[in-house]
Amino acid sequence: RILVIGACGQLGSELTNELGKIFGNDNVIASDISAPNAAIENFHFEQLDVMDADRLATIVDSHGITQIYHLAAILSAKGEENPQWAWNLNMTGLLNVLELAKEKNLKKIYWPSSIAVFGPSTPMDNTPQHTVMDPNTVYGISKLAGERWCEYYFDKYGVDVRSLRYPGLIGYKSLPGGGTTDYAVDIYHKALSGEPFECFLSEDTYLPMMYMQDAIKATIDLMQAPAEQVKIRSSYNISAIDFSPKEIVASIKEHIPNFTATYKPDFRQAIADSWPNSISDAQAREDWGWDHAFDLTKMTSDILENLPELLGDFQKA
């Protein structure tokens, strides 16, 4: 059985449903610190604060869990508002999962890293898998430390933990929380509501991004790959589309011509400026056949086609 920690989150709610499709809903247990939301109503739910190692062990034992997808974390923007809390949650949560995986000899662990592990000294274009990493956000620091711990538990104890450095994730089925790339989700909601969009980044801020469907595919492909193909045990670079706010606005205006945006950078501009413009994912493509399917045009069409029927639910929430 699979336990998803952070199943109510932007990625967690979509990944839980995808895992249910593959393994059967009865074989996937959803957990989160918050109460269950509609997106995961078809799954057995356990309330879990991942800082509580005993509660985690009880859930793993009672459901016969053999794999954990540990997605709970405080993201970049929110982490800067409460550094100690973000560090403690992100690190203690991961270490609780890794230690339990070792003790109970769990089959596989998935843990997301992020392009936030890169910092101002990292080569900004086509950032390589192995390079200088000097993150200057609490979130990025915790993800870099987390990558080191994942490789340590693999090398020292043989824990089969796998990880991806996600770019900004964009989807229409769930809302993000506390990220610097979240403008690229909100913009579609504003466009469909006929409202002007005020962007908290400057119009030429390039960031590596990925449509949620591609992120889900990458995660499942990595987790299904034979262990000997998984040569990176810190976290794999993966990449799909790099764009600026100006470019995503233009892609929306092709469908909604009178959509308008203004740019009012806030504290998140400095976070975005510390991250790469684009990422090299050659090693992921070579090791386990990663390939993305959505470019900006295709993503915008797919979102503008599918988001309208969900818009009402989000506006009620």
Active site residue ranges: 139
Token pair 């057995």: residue:
44
Run of H or E including 288: helix 282-288
**C-alpha–C-alpha distance, residues 186 and 198, integer Å:** 10
Report in angstroms how near the CB of residue 94 gets to ligand VAH at its nearest: 15
**In the numeric block, which tokens belong to residue 114?**
């992020």
Report in angstroms how near the CB of residue 115 gets to ligand VAH at its nearest: 5
- Which of 114/122 has CB closer to ligand VAH? 114
Report in angstroms how near the CB of residue 45 gets to ligand VAH at its nearest: 24
What are the residues binding ligand VAH (CB under 6 A)? 75-76, 114-116, 139, 166-169, 179-181
- Which of 65/73 has CB closer to ligand VAH? 73
Q: Burial letters for 165-187: b for 16+ Cβ neighbours within 10 Å, e otherwise?
A: bbbbbbbbbbbbebbbbbbbbeb
**C-alpha–C-alpha distance, residues 260 and 121, integer Å:** 35
- Which of 43/139 has CB closer to ligand VAH? 139
- Which of 180/280 has CB closer to ligand VAH? 180
- Which of 20/168 has CB closer to ligand VAH? 168
Report in angstroms how near the CB of residue 117 gets to ligand VAH at its nearest: 9
Report in angstroms how near the CB of residue 78 gets to ligand VAH at its nearest: 8
Please answer whether residues 94 and 67 qualify as being in contact, where contact means their C-beta atoms are separated by less than 8 angstroms: no
**C-alpha–C-alpha distance, residues 164 and 176, integer Å:** 18
Please answer whether residues 237 and 143 qualify as being in contact, where contact means their C-beta atoms are separated by less than 8 angstroms: no
- Which of 106/143 has CB closer to ligand VAH? 143
Q: HSE of 250 in the Cβ direction (CA atoms, 13 Å)?
A: 9
**In the numeric block, which tokens belong to residue 236?**
């794999």
**In the numeric block, which tokens belong to residue 106?**
């769990």
**In the numeric block, which tokens belong to residue 77?**
């923007």
Write the DSSP symbol of residue 38.
G
Could you list the beta-strand ranges (E) of 111-199: 113-114, 161-162, 164-166, 168-170, 197-199
**C-alpha–C-alpha distance, residues 263 and 204, integer Å:** 10
Using alpha carbons, select from 182, 157, 180 the residue that is nearest to residue 170.
Answer: 182
Report in angstroms how near the CB of residue 23 gets to ligand VAH at its nearest: 26
Ranked by CB distance to ligand VAH, the top (closest) residue is 179
